[in-house]
């Protein structure tokens, strides 16, 4: 991965971040730092606050309290600037199914400000890098899940974002497509993009540089795979995840504002 300059701010930094929906606490007291160039995994059972956290960092939700920066920009005060330097891909990324692969790419690249020769060159580059060229004129609606996922990643990175948020991007995709997707993620990281990803696949979690575990809106631990398993006194990351999920289910209903 490309090293960050010593004076670069973290890719993500939050302090005391809190989000409440109609008196229901979705995120509580979140202190989190993601370093530049990391592939960082944010894990936890359904309703733990992961998606709410990402939406706040992307400028889609206002925090109820606390502070957050993304690549040195203040969430809230510099929302529009943040949107220009990040990419966001969720499980249901908004592809236009009547448009072809190339047309979707050009559309999203235009939204991100590319025009003229730069637009054409970037479109062709993405078609080549993500191995989409052979199907460039196929409608997005006719693609399988793995191909749609690949196209969605291309659209989310059309503007070469400094920070990429991926919210369960491989849900429902076959293992071969997931493997290719992760090769593409690490290629982006090598080019300097910081990646924050949520996933319920523990083999994907194992690929992350560092991990953070959330439960019921709170951050429980941050570290490498080995540091996390030692912290929870478990043998594997999957053991940690299953144990947290069991604890959450035993603790009764938890409302996190529709969060996953």
Q: Which of 122-131, 208-217, 230-239, 247-256 has the lowest mean pLDDT?
A: 247-256
C-beta neighbour count of 195 within 10 angstroms: 23
What H or E segment, with its residue span, contains residue 167? strand 163-167
Q: Are 6 and 36 in contact (CB under 8 A)?
A: no
Residue 219's DSSP bridge partners are 214
pLDDT of 1 reads 45
Q: What is the CATH number of the domain that holds 170?
A: 3.40.50.300
More confident residue, 154 or 8: 154
Q: Tell me what percent of the residues of the chain surpass a pLDDT of 70.
A: 92
**128 assigned to some structural domain:** no
Does residue 135 form part of some domain?
Answer: no
Q: Which domain holds residue 195?
A: 12-92+162-250
- Residue 144 forms beta bridges with which residues? none
Query: Domain tally for the chain?
Result: 1
- Mean of the per-residue pLDDT values for the chain? 89
146 touches 173 (CB < 8 A): yes
- Is residue 6 included in any domain, yes or no? no
State the maximum Cα–Cα separation within the chain, in Å, rounded to a whole number: 57
CA distances from 40 to 47, 158, 245 (A): 19, 21, 21
Strand partners, 19: 27
DSSP-based three-state secondary structure for 23: coil
Residue 37 lies in a domain: yes
**33 located within any domain:** yes
In tens, the pLDDT along 74-117 reads 998 898 899 889 999 987 778 999 999 999 999 999 998 899 99
**Would 129 be classed as within a structural domain?**
no
Residue 213 is assigned to a structural domain of this protein:
yes
**Predicted pLDDT of residue 228:** 93
- Whether the pLDDT of residue 4 is over 80: the answer is no
Phi first, then psi: give them for residue 200, nearest 5 degrees.
Answer: -105, 5
pLDDT, mean of residues 1-11: 64
What is the CB neighbour count within 10 angstroms for residue 223? 14
Query: Could you report the per-residue pLDDT of 134-172, keeping only the tens digit for each?
Result: 999 999 999 988 899 889 999 999 999 999 999 998 888
The pLDDT-based confidence of 247 (bands split at 50, 70, 90) is confident
Q: What is the mean pLDDT of residues 233-255?
A: 79
| pLDDT for the residue 2 | 45
Q: Is residue 44 part of a domain?
A: yes
């Amino acid at each position: 991965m490309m090293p960050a300059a010593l004076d670069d701010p973290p890719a993500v930094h939050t302090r005391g971040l809190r989000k409440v929906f109609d008196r229901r606490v979705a995120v509580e007291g979140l202190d989190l730092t993601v370093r530049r160039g990391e592939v960082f995994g944010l894990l936890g059972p359904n309703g733990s606050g992961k998606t709410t956290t990402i939406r706040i960092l992307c400028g889609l939700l206002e925090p109820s309290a606390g502070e957050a920066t993304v690549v040195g920009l203040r969430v809230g005060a510099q929302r529009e600037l943040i949107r220009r330097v990040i990419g966001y891909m969720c499980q249901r990324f908004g592809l236009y199914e009547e448009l072809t692969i190339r047309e979707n790419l050009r559309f999203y690249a235009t939204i991100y400000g590319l025009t003229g020769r730069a637009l054409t060159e970037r479109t062709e580059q993405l078609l080549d890098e993500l191995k989409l060229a052979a199907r460039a004129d196929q409608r997005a609606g006719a693609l399988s899940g793995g191909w749609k996922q690949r196209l969605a990643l291309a659209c989310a990175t059309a503007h070469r974002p400094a920070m990429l948020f991926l919210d369960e991007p491989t849900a429902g995709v076959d293992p071969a497509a997931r493997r290719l997707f992760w090769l593409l993620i690490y290629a982006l990281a090598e080019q300097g993009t910081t990646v924050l990803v949520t996933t319920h696949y523990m083999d994907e979690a194992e690929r992350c540089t560092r991990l953070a575990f959330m439960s019921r809106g709170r951050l429980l631990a941050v570290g490498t795979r080995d540091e996390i398993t030692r912290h929870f006194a478990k043998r594997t990351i999957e053991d940690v995840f299953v144990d947290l999920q069991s604890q959450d289910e035993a603790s009764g209903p938890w409302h996190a504002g529709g969060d996953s």
